[in-house]
C-alpha cells in the first residue's frame, strides 16, 4: 500500500513529463484498479491506508478485479478492511467489482484462490452506491492473464487456481471492456456502454451470471 501511495504521488507530479507530446494527461482524474490481492490493496488505498499518499490526492473511481482479502476469515491480509457489514466502506466514489464464478472453487487439492467471504461478493456488499458488480461465470481467478505465462510464476498461475475451459482471450476482452466502460461512466458520465451491459449481458464476450448489477446513488438501475 505504501508503495502504491508513493507511485501515485510520483505520477501526480512527474507523469506528464514522460508522456508523448500527443498524450494529454489530465491530473483531475485518478482511478485505482487492481486484481486479486492487488484489488484488495486498491480498496485499502482508497480507504486511506497508504501512509505515504499525499492527502491532497483524491480518487475518481475504483475497480477491483476478483479482489481477495486472504486465505480464509481467520487468515486475512493486513489491514483487515472487510467488516462483514453491508455498505460499510467509507467511499464516496463509483466502485466496480469484477468477480469469477470459479474463483471460490477448489482446484483438486489446491484451495480456492478467491475464497467465499473474502472475494468479490463481500467487497461488493460492503460498497455503497454508486457501485456495479459483474461476474464471469465460467472463468477462474487467473483467467484474465496471458495464455502462456513463462517460467515458474506461469506454472504456478496455471496450476494453483481453478481455471475455466473457455478461451482466456474472451475473459481478457471482458475485463478490459468493463474497465474502459466503467471509467467512461465514472469519469465523463458516458453511461451508454455500462448500462447496455447491465441491460443485455449477452453483449459480453464472457457469460455473466448472476446478472450484472448497477446501483446508482439515485437508485438501482435495471
Indicate which residues carry an active-site annotation: 36, 66, 141
Q: Which three cell numbers stand for residue 74?
A: 481467520
Which of 32, 36, 160 is closest to 105 using CA atoms? 160
CB 54 within 8 A of CB 142: no
CB 103 within 8 A of CB 117: no
Q: Which residues contact 135 (CB under 8 A, 6 or more apart)?
A: 98, 99, 100, 101, 120, 208, 209, 210, 212
Torsion of CA 120, 125, 130, 133, to 10 degrees: 40
Question: How far is the C-alpha of 31 from the C-alpha of 108, rounded, in Å?
Answer: 37
Amino acid at each position: 500500500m505504501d508503495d502504491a501511495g508513493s507511485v501515485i504521488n510520483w505520477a501526480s507530479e512527474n507523469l506528464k513529463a514522460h508522456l508523448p507530446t500527443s498524450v494529454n494527461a489530465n491530473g483531475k482524474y485518478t482511478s485505482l484498479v487492481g486484481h486479486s490481492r492487488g484489488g484488495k490493496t486498491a480498496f485499502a488505498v482508497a480507504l486511506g491506508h497508504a501512509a505515504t499518499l499525499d492527502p491532497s490526492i483524491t480518487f475518481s473511481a475504483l475497480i477491483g478485479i476478483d479482489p481477495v482479502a486472504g486465505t480464509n476469515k481467520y487468515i486475512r491480509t493486513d489491514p483487515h478492511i472487510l467488516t462483514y457489514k453491508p455498505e460499510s466502506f467509507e467511499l464516496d466514489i463509483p466502485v466496480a467489482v469484477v468477480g469469477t464464478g470459479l474463483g471460490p472453487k477448489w482446484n483438486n487439492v489446491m484451495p480456492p484462490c478467491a475464497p467465499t467471504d473474502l472475494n468479490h461478493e463481500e467487497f461488493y456488499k460492503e460498497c455503497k452506491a454508486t457501485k456495479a458488480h459483474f461476474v464471469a461465470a465460467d472463468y477462474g481467478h487467473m483467467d484474465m492473464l496471458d495464455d502462456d505465462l513463462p517460467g515458474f510464476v506461469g506454472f504456478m498461475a496455471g496450476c494453483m487456481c481453478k481455471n475455466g475451459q473457455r478461451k482466456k482471450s474472451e475473459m481478457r476482452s471482458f475485463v478490459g471492456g468493463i474497465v474502459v466502460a466503467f471509467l467512461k461512466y465514472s469519469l465523463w458520465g458516458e453511461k451508454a456502454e455500462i448500462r447496455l451491459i447491465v441491460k443485455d449481458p449477452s453483449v459480453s464476450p464472457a457469460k455473466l451470471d448472476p446478472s450484472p448489477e448497477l446501483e446508482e446513488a439515485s437508485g438501482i438501475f435495471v
